[in-house]
Amino acid sequence: MIKPGQEIPESLLNQVEMAWRPYDPCMSCSTHTLPGSMPLEITVVDSGGNTVRRLSR
């Protein structure tokens, strides 16, 4: 879904955040953050483990 040279849409970052919440109890408590305001950093790596891109909001 993340392709080189394309802008990463906010909706995709929201999907990544939702996928992560079950694994981190602190992030799953929606009373501590407003929708869309949770800090998020994604590191995209290739099959060799090399960092391709870092995304954050």
Q: Where are the domains of the chain?
A: 10-56
In this predicted structure, the answer to whether residue 50 has a pLDDT above a threshold of 90 is yes
Q: Which of 4-8, 10-14, 45-49 has the highest mean pLDDT?
A: 45-49
Mean pLDDT of 28-41: 61
Residue 25: band (very low, low, confident or very high) from pLDDT cuts 50, 70, 90 = low
DSSP string, the chain: ---TTSPPPHHHHHHHHHHHGGG-HHHH-GGGS-TT-S--EEEEE-TTS-EEEEEE-
